[in-house]
Structure 1
Amino acid sequence: MQPQLLSPFFWYLVQQYEERYHEEMKRGDVDPKTQFEYAWCLVRSRYPADIRRGVMLMEDLFHHGNTEAKRDYLFYLAVGSTKLQEYSKALKFIKAFLHVEPANRQAQDLEATIKSRMKKEGIKGMAIVGGAALAVSGLVGLGIALAKR
């Protein structure tokens, strides 16, 4: 995460957007721009609960918001999903984004990051499964050896 996003100014922005969003919620009419700004801040947070809330708000905007802004919603959905380690969702979002704008370098870099992390998580998963299988086979071998006595 970029250090300037975690500065006191960033948290000031979060607070301002959050207050505006909740005021509009009370009135029953949230402007999509307000929702986007608040979701944008939440997705950039370091806290998973904030990121999850930001992703939910972005998903709502994607389904009900401005059609011209769907590209932006997709990008931040991919960012948020990546930060939550939901790589298959993130890859789906970034591929949809790249379908619309294939030459976007930032999106290409994010896609590469997602794929790299998926590969790393896959290797970790295989190591865990392999270790568990080795432990089980060791216990079975020990059980057989003890049974022969």
Structure 2
Amino acid sequence: MNMMESIVEDRVSPEDLRKFEAKYLSALKNGFVPPTTQFDYSWCLIRSESMSRVREGVKLLEDLYKKSGENDEKRDYLFYLAIGNTRIGEYNKALNYTEAILKVEPKNSQSHQLHEYITKRRNKEGLIGAAVAGGAAVAVLGGLIGLGMRMCIL
């Protein structure tokens, strides 16, 4: 497993998820969520087993990105947005995020590695999807041929 795969495939412990969720919800209840609290919780959500929670984490990161005025923060949010979107199979969005980083920081090696990983994963899943679709088409065609032969016999 390479470094980017280990980052994308990393999972949050249930204890950490509960801890950061409690901290986030408490801040939300008090009327102000510090960006670090929102980021920590969103990073936990992105590493969750639940795809709906990963999507929730992506939304929280998108919100942070929109509110941030700092370039370093924006870069970090884009990086983690790329990871989150990769986890939910939104590869084109994920690649757009890595490309946005690379436009500003063309020598950012982590973003290059993540971009390469996402591209390979998208291509691999595309091939698997094509094979499944091809197999289904063969099965349907076989069924139609069988039905046609049966009709000819009758």
Q: TM-score, normalised by structure 2?
A: 0.81
The corresponding residue for 1:148 is 152
Note the residue ranges of structure 1 that are not aligned, 5 or more in a row: none
How big is each residue's C-alpha offset from its partner over 1:99-138, in whole Å with a ceiling of 9 and x where there is no partner?
1222111111111111111111111121122112212221
Bigger drift between 96-105 and 55-64 goes to 96-105
In 1, the alpha carbon distance for the partners of 2:11 and 2:151 equals 60
1:91 alignment partner, one of 73, 77, 95: 95
Flag structure 2 segments of 5+ consecutive residues without an equivalent. 1-5
Alignment equivalent of 2:68, drawn from 59, 62, 65: 65
1:139 alignment partner in structure 2: 143
Does 1:116 pair with 2:126?
no
Match for residue 42 of structure 1 among 40, 45, 48: 45
The percentage of counterpart residues that share the same residue type is 41
CA RMSD in angstroms, aligned pairs only? 2.1
41-50 or 53-62, larger mean C-alpha shift? 41-50
Cα separation, 2, equivalents of 1:13 and 1:132:
42
Residues matched between the structures, number: 145
Distance change >3 Å, CA 12–CA 146, structure 1 → 2: closer
**TM-score, structure 1 normalization:** 0.84
Moved over 6 A (4+): none
What is the CA–CA distance in structure 2 between the aligned matches of 1:98 and 1:45, rounded to whole Å? 27
Residue 90 of structure 2 aligns with an amino acid whose one-letter code is E
Q: Which has the higher contact order (CA 8 A, sep 6+)?
A: 2
Q: What are the superposed Cα offsets for residues 35-87 of structure 1, whole Å, 9 maximum, x if unpaired? A: 11221222233433332221111011111234331111100000111122221
| Letter of the 2:118 counterpart | I
- How far does residue 17 in structure 1 lie from its aligned partner after superposition? 2.8
Aligned pair partner of 2:106 in 102, 108, 121: 102
